[in-house]
Structure 1
Amino acid sequence: MPHPALPALAQASQDLLAAVRRDAPLVQCLTNFVSMNYAANALLAVGASPAMVHAEQEAPEFARISGAVVVNIGTLSAPWLESMLLTAASAGQAGTPWVLDPVAHHATAFRRGAIQRLMDLRPAIVRGNASEIIALAGGQSAGKGVDSRDAVAQAEQSATDIAASRQTVVAVTGEVDFVTDGKRSVRIIGGSPLMPRVTATGCALTAVVGAFAAVSRGDAYTAAVGALSCFSIAGERAGALAEGPGSFAWRFLDALAGLEHDCLTRASPLR
């Protein structure tokens, strides 16, 4: 069922944006080569502090001083997987929230095995596209590589099942986003059709989800909703001015940085 108090949820999300800007939480990202620069810039734009620390020799230790950890398997390799597993375990031991982006996890046997091992380490939030979430729940998706070929609405039950069975929050992103903790759920409208045409936009969103989780005091549901709401509003604003994907990329960073103190309550994208 939808969350019964959308204005309160919008206000809580707004409060988290203010907390990110006030506290500049340190967000450790074990992310893919394609997304590092854009994800770091998105974190800076929203007010957080990025740290692209992924080496096995230091990443687990670094997780203990981070506000949140983000694990993205986009350009997965055996050494990176080992570091991700050790870092996620370290984050869990330290009480540091960590966010998982299961990029194309259903594409190969190596990825399928990796994602199950990571899921067993209990991420606070899982953020993926519809095809990734359907496959993660054991369903048959139409996804091809990193691209989603399924509608978000088709993934809502899969997301709810994962959230309930794994005791996590699942955020499914697409034309209309969907966030659930297995009991509550909400949809988020907005964004721009140009967003899927800029590489690493989704990866950057996962990083920003980490920033919100870092200041959420254990409320992973509101953290996911707040981050996705910011992306929705910024995407809509950037898309209205952009001439194409190139100009959208930098306009989107500017739009994130320019979000007003009351943007999420004045024009809430929650439904």
Structure 2
Amino acid sequence: MSSARSALSAAAPLVHCLTNTVVQTLTANALLAVGAAPAMVDEPLEAEGFAAVASAVLVNLGTVHERTAQAMRVAVRGATAAGTPWVLDPVAVGGLAFRTELAAELLGSRPAVVRGNASEVLVLAGAGSGGRGVDSTATADDALDAAIALAGRTGGVVAVSGEVDVVTDGSRTVRVGGGSPLLTRTTGAGCALGALVAAYVAVTGDPLTGAVAAHAHVALAAEAAAAVGPGPGTFAPLWLDALDGVRDLSAAQVTA
């Protein structure tokens, strides 16, 4: 994992983001801060072709509607055909039928990484009914068995966000601690994390290593930002600065 940060800086991967309209700016700026290149191409007539030439694709269901759902379908098709890794962030699945059904459909195309909170992962694994909107009502460890089962179904990695993040490929499980509670009070921090997972997977070639590196990077930056920004209003821009400043992931609280 120590080489992942330098690989990201050197490669500057192009990450195609079909994501939450509320957080597009933060997601784009987070990618720029770590040295990646963002693109928000959500037109169905363009999404398939763009996914095929991008380094990685993020599919985030935060504010999905019919047109963007179709763009997501064709982007996943283009990514799959081109061998482009893609990340599924199943925001708020469980309580709303449209996004839950779409997430289940997309899951059949075997994302490299599923990244969500514990309640979302439990829903995708068929072991829960969902949380409270975007908020989880379960812990990451509550969803560990479901994450392992889900990884087995997709052949990829499942990353569960929580006080301590849990990342598994079904046989290997890694925990990433640290970070700051202020991340949960910053709109779009989790969505930006999904984009960083895509960027790191693109440059590492290993979904588990990439997902762990992204979580470690976000946690280290959050710790640095929280040390000087005591509230959510000051934390968010300081977090972007800190994402840029992280050069070494070895200090992260990573345990296998």
Q: TM-score range by the shorter chain?
A: over 0.9
Structure 1 148/78 Cα, relative in aligned 2: closer, same or farther at 3 Å? Answer: same
Q: How does 1:112-131 map to 2 (within 5 A)?
A: 112-131=100-119
Tell whether the 8 Å contact from 2:87 to 2:115 is kept in structure 1 after alignment: yes
Shift of 1:95: 0.5
Give 2:35's aligned amino acid. Answer: G
Shift of 1:220: 0.7
Match for 2:169 among 168, 178, 181? Answer: 181
Mapped partners of 1:142, 1:63: distance in 2 = 29
**Counterpart in 1 of 2:203?**
215
Deviations 1:169-223 (A, max 9, x none): 0000111000000000010000101101000000000001111011122x11100
Shift of 1:159: 0.6
**Counterpart in 2 of 1:199?**
187
Deviations 1:23-70 (A, max 9, x none): 111000000101100000000001100001110011110111100000
Q: CA RMSD in A?
A: 1.0
Give 1:209's aligned amino acid. Answer: V
Q: How does 1:43-192 map to 2 (within 5 A)?
A: 43-141=31-129, 143-192=131-180
Structure 2 residue 224 is matched with structure 1 residue 237: yes
Using the TM superposition, name which of 86-95 and 142-151 deviates more: 142-151
Deviations 1:95-141 (A, max 9, x none): 00000000011121111210111101111000000110111111125
Tell whether the 8 Å contact from 2:89 to 2:116 is kept in structure 1 after alignment: yes
Q: Secondary structure at the match of 2:160?
A: strand
Tell whether the 8 Å contact from 2:85 to 2:111 is kept in structure 1 after alignment: yes
Mapped partners of 1:207, 1:14: distance in 2 = 20
Match for 1:38 among 26, 32, 48? Answer: 26
Mapped partners of 1:237, 1:207: distance in 2 = 20
Q: Secondary structure at the match of 1:121?
A: coil
Give 2:215's aligned amino acid. Answer: L
Mapped partners of 1:172, 1:141: distance in 2 = 16
**Counterpart in 2 of 1:270?**
254
Give 2:235's aligned amino acid. Answer: F
Mapped partners of 1:143, 1:208: distance in 2 = 24
| Structure 2: runs of 5 or more not aligned | none
Shift of 1:225: 0.5
Mapped partners of 2:122, 2:128: distance in 1 = 7
Tell whether the 8 Å contact from 1:128 to 1:173 is kept in structure 2 after alignment: yes
Shift of 1:247: 0.6
TM-score (norm. length: structure 2): 0.97
Give 1:226's aligned amino acid. Answer: A
Q: Secondary structure at the match of 1:100?
A: strand
Tell whether the 8 Å contact from 1:216 to 1:222 is kept in structure 2 after alignment: yes
Structure 1 runs of 4+ aligned residues shifted over 6 Å read none
Give 2:232's aligned amino acid. Answer: P
TM-score (norm. length: structure 1): 0.92
Mapped partners of 1:240, 1:26: distance in 2 = 31
Q: Secondary structure at the match of 2:88?
A: strand
Tell whether the 8 Å contact from 1:141 to 1:150 is kept in structure 2 after alignment: no
Q: Secondary structure at the match of 1:186?
A: strand
| Structure 1: runs of 5 or more not aligned | 1-12
Give 2:43's aligned amino acid. Answer: A
Tell whether the 8 Å contact from 1:24 to 1:48 is kept in structure 2 after alignment: yes
Mapped partners of 1:131, 1:241: distance in 2 = 31
Identity of aligned residues (%): 49
Tell whether the 8 Å contact from 1:142 to 1:150 is kept in structure 2 after alignment: no
